[in-house]
Structure 1
Amino acid sequence: MKRHSEHLNYLVECMAFIQDLRVRAMFGGYGLYQDDLIFAIVVNDVLYLKSDAAIKNEFTRRGLQPFTYTVRSDKLVTMQYFEAPPDVFEQPEIMQEWTQKAWGAALRAKKPRAAELERWASWRADQ
């Protein structure tokens, strides 16, 4: 069983306010989940938070970089996860603020399940 790094353990401690926080190993890094939604990744001991169009500018204004990786040695892929601001590690309130933003991005990106779509369609038909 692969052991978590000390830094990952520290991140989990910093996010103790998140109920049911789960860490899953993935592709050489880790995904951080709440309610089966991934809101952050940790790769090479760097915390990246989920982003979307609603909050992307908050990351870019601070000069924070997106997570990227190379496919087949020639194609750079940029994901919707950005480096966490350094001050999240200094003040718990700031960690909570930024993880809530990332959680919001994860919720907005969530694709509805078939059952949810059926319920929604049924509700709309009744209106």
Structure 2
Amino acid sequence: MDNDAISEMFDSLGEVTIKRMFGGKGVYHQGVILALEVSGDILLKADAQSAPEFADAGASQWVYSGKNKPVAMPYWSIPDAALDDPEELSKWVKLAWDAALRSKK
């Protein structure tokens, strides 16, 4: 996914910075990472407080194969209902931003 398309997804927050990392991209707002682009998919940051909302909306948690076991990361897919609805997407972006801020504390 190109940087312009990624930035557009986060318009509701304002300016984002996109940096290459680990074969993908990190999406930052005010210097805080809130999303990843992995294999063309945007994954939003979640935590113990917001992850249940992502799960209830049908989103999938990013899990990769570690050396001895699967490793679950605190990033979730965007729920399908938000992919074509900018207002709905802004709700999920805000949840990711809130989780990112909580993780900094």
Q: Quick check: TM above 0.5?
A: yes
Normalised by the length of structure 1, the TM-score is: 0.74
Deviations 1:36-94 (A, max 9, x none): 1111111011111111111111111123211111233x321111111111222211111
1 or 2, which has the higher helix percentage?
A: 1
Match of 2:102 in 1: 108
Secondary structure of residue in 1 paired with 2:13: coil
Q: Percent identity among equivalent residues?
A: 32
- Give the alignment of 1:54-65 within 5 angstroms: 54-65=49-60
SS in 1 for 2:82: helix
Contact map agreement 2:25 2:36 (CA 8 A) in 1: yes
RMSD: 1.6
Counting strand residues as a fraction of each chain, which structure ranks higher?
2
The size of the alignment, in residue pairs, is: 105
Matched, 1:29 2:24: yes
Stretches of 4+ aligned residues off by more than 3 angstroms:
none
Choose 1 or 2 for highest CA Rg. 1
Question: What are the ranges of 5 or more consecutive residues in structure 2 without an aligned counterpart?
Answer: none
Higher relative contact order (CA 8 A, sep 6+): 2
